[in-house]
Amino acid sequence: MNIPEIFGSLVFNDRVMKERLPEDTYNKLKKSIEDGDALTFEIASVVASAMKDWAIEKGATHYTHWFQPLTGVTAEKHDSFITPKGHDEIIMEFSGKELIKGEPDASSFPSGGIRATFEARGYTSWDPTSYAFIKDNTLCIPTAFYSYGGEALDKKTPLLRSVEEINKQAMRIVRLFGDTEAKNVRVTVGPEQEYFLIDKDLYEKRKDLMYTGRTILGAKPPKGQEMDDHYFGAIKPRVAAFMKELDEELWKLGVLAKTEHNEAAPAQHELAPIYSDVNLATDHNQITMEVMKKTAAKHNLVCLLHEKPFLGVNGSGKHNNWSISTDTGINLLEPGKLPQTNLRFLLILSAVIKAVDEYQDLLRITVASAGNDHRLGAAEAPPAIVSMFLGDQLLGILESIEKHAEYDEEAKMNMEVGVHVLPTFQKDTTDRNRTSPFAFTGNKFEFRMPGSSFSIAGPNTILNTIVAEELEQFANELEASEDDDFGRAVRRIIRRTYREHRRIIFNGNNYSEEWKEEAKKRGLSNYPSTPEAIPHFADEKNVALFTKHNIYTKREITSRCEIILENYCKTVNIEALTMIDMVRKEVLPAVTKYTAKLSEGALEKKRLIVGISCKTEIGLVKKLSRLTDELYEKVDFLEKALERVTAMEGDIAQKATAYREEIVEPMAKLRTVADEIESNVSENIWPYPTYCDLLFRI
Ligand code: ADP
Ligand code: MG
């Protein structure tokens, strides 16, 4: 296979546009993409026609506006290119109007009250900054999705708004530092995607996996991930075949899939792409998740993107690597060889520190979901408390600025590996701290809290906005500064920011109990669960931030809160119903049948051999009877609680809290009993594939 040749072969990218569009149209399109101007109808018509011809040559018969509603997945509605001509003929057509604007009948997508049924229209609008591509013989056009009144109904629109905002504010800083060449500042993102692969036949034997994407019951196998033998281990042939095909499919779609490796948990893997512009990275991550699922199915596997499919082994996250750079190629988060003298870097770093401290709640909120609640704070993923890791060197530099002292360069150490043939290299400015939710990793920040099934649009919208806000404050201050020494004015801001916001910096172990205590002392916010976190989205300070930067209107914020909480309630509800169903219809019948058989066996034995003890059978029957009684009681309790909570009317935040307190907890207790039963019965009678089957027999 010729990889450079297949790369991007299904994408209407810049190269194809250059080749197929009249020069004049191409230039105008490029210009409107770069300057963010609206496209004229004429240009759109020419582009549409070229796109259609190209797509048909590649075998496409349909087109769709591809968008990201607030459901978590992408949506599409396919239309064929055919248009009747005369009585019995058709031609293949695609107009500029069809390219630019769509009106999907999408009234069932969640809008959180924005669209009443009488104004249920939703529109999709071409986003020319992300390339069109072909998937399943359909030309997919990336679009934004909004209401009749112009309110965003998707994840892309606020993201694009935030990109404009951070560009505007970062450019002011760049100019203040004397750069006259750069035309804009772009956000770059590389999302690392974790996932599990399991056998499809086994998956289909478990209702919990099929309905909820995670195991709701399941005893731990004797071996988990404690030997660390899966992490970066040799990849099994079946998985390797999947990864090979996945890479190829992604390359065709222009996704820069780069690294594939095994993760910490058995059956867990990761895919990391090479970073790109945030809008493209977001679309590509959505495509990646979709292609993962499809490719897995071809190999009779199932790709689980749930944040916590298995209790007792690591869950899956999505590490969002984030940075900003100029169009001239300068990474503004690159410390350089002498970070202590790189004031522009230190100023931007300060903006991020201030942003993360002042809006720690928003970073927590943007990763909240029923699934991720199982992961955050489970001593394997970052805790629900937001803090940031900078490493010793940067911390030392900030401290010396704060104390008006010289930074001691000797502190930088050379790394000696102790093997002379290996080159000596300078120690990375940041050692790896895998426990931090927000870590500086050399020339970018790695936000580790997003869940594996998330769209990265939300987290990046927040990151862009909060950093834009701080950059704006700094730019205002510097532009108005009367200090004739610019460097001194900058250092003043850095010093003040560090003094006021250093509480957010934590270089230690975020999994420890001491950190929870320490964070509390520092006054950091801690929202352990989704119902606790989400309502703060609409706190006054957050509404002020979003409306000021035109990211979300107040109504968009309240509607999003409602959708997220609603989704939380529905998820927990489905999980509880699934659990009740499994326990009542499968677990209890199997176990009672098993105890009956044990009892019969014991009686038989006694009839055969007078005076024999049958200790084992009697002991087991006793134990299992006690456990099944408990299980029976607990499932009754859960069912009653569920009836009560489901019937609650009114405030969605209260309902979500009730789900959290009255359903999630009893489910955990019920599970403990079920898992103990599983550990005490014959594997042959257990109605489901076990953790051992799921995690190790692939
Ligand atoms: P690790 O697993 O150690 O965190 P990886 O190499 O797996 O590191 O992932 C690093 C990710 O960060 C990759 O997706 C990479 O493309 C991305 N990345 C590197 N530089 C930048 C940057 N300047 N902006 C955004 N992402 C970046
Ligand atoms: Mg990483």
* CATH number, domain 568-696: 1.20.120.1560
Q: State the DSSP H helix or E strand holding residue 637, giving kind and residue range, or none if neither.
A: helix 615-647
Report CA(432)–ligand 2 centroid distance (Å). 10
Atom nearest to 442 CA in ligand 1 = 20
Q: What six digits make up the tokens of 332?
A: 């503004």
Helix 486-501 and helix 343-358, axial crossing angle in degrees, nearest 10: 30
> Residues with beta carbon inside 6 Å of ligand 1?
188-190, 192, 259, 272-275, 319, 321-323, 331, 443-444, 446
Question: Quick one: which ligand is closest to 190's CA?
Answer: 1
User: Does the pLDDT at position 614 exceed 70?
Assistant: yes
Q: Nearest to residue 308, comparing CAs of 364, 378, 363? A: 378
User: Does the pLDDT at position 119 exceed 90?
Assistant: no
Burial code (b: 16+ CB inside 10 Å, e: under 16) for 60-81 equals bebbbbbbbbbebebbbbeeeb
From 260, 269, 275, 320, give the residue whose CB has the most ligand 1 atoms within 8 Å, as the site to mutate: 275
User: Does the pLDDT at position 409 exceed 70?
Assistant: no
- Tell me the percentage of the chain whose pLDDT exceeds 70: 95
Give ion ligand 2 contacts, CB < 5 A: 192, 319
CB 124 within 8 A of CB 65: yes
Report CA(419)–ligand 2 centroid distance (Å). 27
Report CA(190)–ligand 1 centroid distance (Å). 5
Atom nearest to 322 CA in ligand 1 = 25
Please classify residue 15 by burial: count the beta carbons closer than 10 Å to its beta carbon, then call 0-12 exposed, 13-18 middle and 19+ buried.
exposed
Angle CA(266)–CA(572)–CA(661) in degrees, nearest 5?
A: 105
| Choices 1.20.1050.10, 3.30.428.10, 3.10.20.70, 1.10.1040.10: CATH for 3-154 | 3.10.20.70
Q: What six digits make up the tokens of 346?
A: 């230190």
User: Does the pLDDT at position 427 exceed 70?
Assistant: no
Position 419 scores a pLDDT of 52
Report CA(614)–ligand 1 centroid distance (Å). 62
Report CA(457)–ligand 2 centroid distance (Å). 18
Q: State the DSSP H helix or E strand holding residue 261, giving kind and residue range, or none if neither.
A: strand 257-262
**pLDDT band for position 75 (cuts 50, 70, 90):** confident
Fold of 162-214+228-552: Creatine Kinase; Chain A, domain 2 (3.30.590)
Position 73 scores a pLDDT of 80
Give dist(CA 459, CA 560) in Å, integer.
Answer: 14
CB 190 within 8 A of CB 323: no
Report CA(444)–ligand 1 centroid distance (Å). 8
CB 542 within 8 A of CB 557: yes
From 320, 444, 446, 463, give the residue whose CB has the most ligand 1 atoms within 8 Å, as the site to mutate: 444
- Nearest CA residue ID for atom 5, ligand 1: 272
- Nearest CA residue ID for atom 11, ligand 1: 190
Question: Quick one: which ligand is closest to 275's CA?
Answer: 1
| Arithmetic mean of pLDDT, 559-579 | 96
Query: Residue 45: helix, strand or coil by DSSP?
Result: helix
Which of 229-233, 339-343, 556-560, 628-632 comes out lowest in average pLDDT?
Answer: 229-233
Position 425 scores a pLDDT of 45
Give dist(CA 116, CA 110) in Å, integer.
Answer: 11
User: Does the pLDDT at position 259 exceed 60?
Assistant: yes
Q: Nearest to residue 390, comparing CAs of 344, 335, 450, 337? A: 335
CB 44 within 8 A of CB 166: no
The β-bridge partners of 135 are 138
From 163, 166, 186, 192, give the residue whose CB has the most ligand 1 atoms within 8 Å, as the site to mutate: 192
Position 424 scores a pLDDT of 44
User: Does the pLDDT at position 428 exceed 80?
Assistant: no
Report CA(525)–ligand 2 centroid distance (Å). 24
Atom nearest to 441 CA in ligand 1 = 4
| Arithmetic mean of pLDDT, 347-356 | 98
The DSSP line for 396-422 is HHHHHHHTT----GGGS-EE--S-TTS
pLDDT tens profile 197-232? 999 999 999 999 999 999 999 998 877 777 777 776
The DSSP line for 152-178 is B-BSHHHHHHHHHHHHHHHHHHHHHTT
Atom nearest to 325 CA in ligand 1 = 23
Report CA(617)–ligand 2 centroid distance (Å). 51
* Residue that has been written with the tokens 């075949």 in this structure: 241
Report CA(475)–ligand 1 centroid distance (Å). 29
Report CA(661)–ligand 1 centroid distance (Å). 38
pLDDT: is 233 or 8 the higher one?
8
Query: Residue 111: helix, strand or coil by DSSP?
Result: coil
Atom nearest to 331 CA in ligand 1 = 23
pLDDT tens profile 234-245? 778 899 999 999
CB 478 within 8 A of CB 343: no
Q: What is the mean pLDDT of the chain?
A: 91
Position 378 scores a pLDDT of 75
Position 421 scores a pLDDT of 53
Mark out the alpha helices in 299-391 (DSSP H runs): 343-358, 360-365, 370-373
Atom nearest to 273 CA in ligand 1 = 14
**What pTM was estimated for this model as a whole?**
0.94
Mark out the alpha helices in 512-614 (DSSP H runs): 513-522, 530-533, 540-548, 554-582, 588-608
Domain boundaries, the chain: 3-154, 162-214+228-552, 568-696
* Composition of the chain by helix, strand, coil, percent to 5: 50, 15, 35
